[in-house]
Amino acid sequence: MNSLVRLLLAFAAAAPLAAAAQGSYPNKPVHVIVSTVPGPLDAFARIVCDKLATTLKQPFVVENKAGAGGNIAAEYVKSQPADGYTLLFAIDTTFTVNPGLYKTLPFNPERDFVTISVPVTYAQMLTVNPSVPVKNVNELVALSKQKNLTYASGGNGSPSHLAGAYFLSVANADMTHIPYKGTGQSVIDVIGGRVDTLFAVTSGVLPQVKGGKLKALAVSSPQRSPLAPDVPTIAELGYPGFDVQFAYAFMAPAGTPDEIVQLLNREVNKAMKEADVIEKNRIADYAPTNLDAKQSAAWLRDNREKWTKVIQQQHISAE
């Protein structure tokens, strides 16, 4: 067999694989596992999946597998074939917080997954019960040193807990953490005066702020929220560099062909620029990132390092 024949045979063998990875994906329905019950993440994932289904001309079928801070969904997806037909939408904390929060994880965030996209980030708003005698963040910090204040969260290791813990460490303040099983009840109890303060997603507490049931002190992102432009950032109130943002992460099992990862990343970023998605993101107070796959992976890695330090410093555990 001469070298030309061998070359042609090798090309013929490789061509179907290349075509499968590039031109014909997807050629059947794609299953997207969402790591929470129906709620903000689920709604966002369905918006994105509808756009992907339209442009890629295959159904993107959403299925919820909630529990253990996203660990159940992540464990399931990591065990699926790395062919682009089973994907994961999770809150970033599954990959940035859980590695430091849980003694053991059923997956390795670096080894078992490849990052497709971190499409949006979102901040938290610091609010207090109107009866708490403070007008700004500095007065809250001063008051915390005079009396025992409490702060609520949606549970140990939740974004609201981590935002609160990080704020206390940066501000050198002290408050007692009151964890709840979900953010909803925590907001109710701060409104009722049973807890003094909490961090929560801006869009989730803004109606209560506008209704006078909560008092907004600051937001945790480096920039003010377009939904609440009159509320300052913590950074501009004397804590330069303060930046607490969370995100949604679109992931695939490790070994998924890079052509598929890049295709999905491009399509997600295109979807973020469509008018109806822009409006939905504005209402939800989501900030599109326009990160490519490598930048998205770096975002998760940097935040994993950040939150691991906070978890260790504040002695936070999943129990």
The confidence score (pLDDT) of residue 146 equals 95
* pLDDT beneath 50, residues of the chain: 3-5, 7-22
Based on the fold, state whether residues 252 and 201 are members of the same structural domain: no
Rounded CA-CA distance 251/90 in Å is 8
The confidence score (pLDDT) of residue 2 equals 54
The confidence score (pLDDT) of residue 181 equals 85
Instruction: Fill in the DSSP letter of residue 181.
Output: S
Domain containing residue 140: CATH number: 3.40.190.10
Which among 34, 43, 225 has a CA at the least distance from the CA of 124?
225
The answer to whether 149 touches 131, Cβ cutoff 8 Å, is no
User: Residue 298 falls within a domain, yes or no?
Assistant: yes
On the 0-12 / 13-18 / 19+ scale of CB atoms within 10 A, 248 is: buried
The confidence score (pLDDT) of residue 319 equals 59
Based on the fold, state whether residues 160 and 180 are members of the same structural domain: yes
Residue 308: both structure tokens together: 């691991």
Based on the fold, state whether residues 80 and 43 are members of the same structural domain: yes
The confidence score (pLDDT) of residue 212 equals 97
The confidence score (pLDDT) of residue 216 equals 98
Domain finish residue from 208, 237, 266: 237
Rounded CA-CA distance 28/56 in Å is 10
Q: Which domain covers residue 182, as residue numbers?
A: 124-237
Instruction: Fill in the DSSP letter of residue 235.
Output: G
Based on the fold, state whether residues 46 and 113 are members of the same structural domain: yes
Domain finish residue from 204, 237, 270: 237
Domain containing residue 293: CATH number: 3.40.190.150
The confidence score (pLDDT) of residue 21 equals 46
Residue 121's identity, in one-letter code, is T
Rounded CA-CA distance 136/139 in Å is 5
User: Residue 15 falls within a domain, yes or no?
Assistant: no
**pTM recorded for the entire structure:** 0.87
Rounded CA-CA distance 163/153 in Å is 9
The confidence score (pLDDT) of residue 6 equals 52
The confidence score (pLDDT) of residue 200 equals 95
Rounded CA-CA distance 165/268 in Å is 32
Based on the fold, state whether residues 131 and 228 are members of the same structural domain: yes
Question: Which residues, including other chains, have CB under 8 Å from residue 117's CB and lie 6 or more apart?
Answer: 249, 250, 264, 265, 268, 269, 291, 293, 296
User: Residue 19 falls within a domain, yes or no?
Assistant: no
